[in-house]
């Protein structure tokens, strides 16, 4: 049967089986190397107050929030775009 992508939608290479993670939106169990990982830094302080505190020399930590999404939820939220066959051959940043 023909396949759509060279990697078959995975990033595991020749590692064998990979672990599963749960989608942050729908709860589906997705292989870790197939899930779309989104990392964001959370600000615990109001931006205006944070600016003043930084001017005074305070260090403001920002915890990192990591979420995994299944492919269908990632497309729905716009994390990844649906691309044509020609565009799929290239990574997002490179077009040559």
Per-residue confidence (pLDDT) for residue 7, from 0 to 100: 83
Closest CA to 25 of 67, 61, 65: 67
pLDDT at 87 over 90: no
pLDDT digits (tens, 9 = 90+) for 17-63: 899 999 999 999 999 999 999 999 999 999 999 999 999 999 999 99
Domains and CATH numbers, the chain: 20-81 (3.30.1740.20)
Q: Which two tokens stand for residue 2?
A: 């023909």
Q: What is the pTM of this model?
A: 0.76
């Amino acid at each position: 049967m023909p396949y759509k992508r060279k990697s078959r939608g995975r990033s595991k290479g020749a590692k064998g089986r990979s672990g599963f993670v749960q989608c942050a939106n729908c709860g589906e169990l997705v292989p870790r190397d197939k899930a779309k990982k989104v990392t964001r830094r959370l600000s615990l302080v109001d931006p205006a107050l944070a600016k003043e505190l930084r001017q005074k020399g305070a260090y403001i930590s920002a915890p990192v929030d990591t979420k995994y999404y299944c492919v269908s939820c990632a497309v729905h939220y716009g994390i990844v775009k649906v691309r044509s066959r020609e565009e799929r051959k290239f990574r997002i940043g490179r077009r040559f």
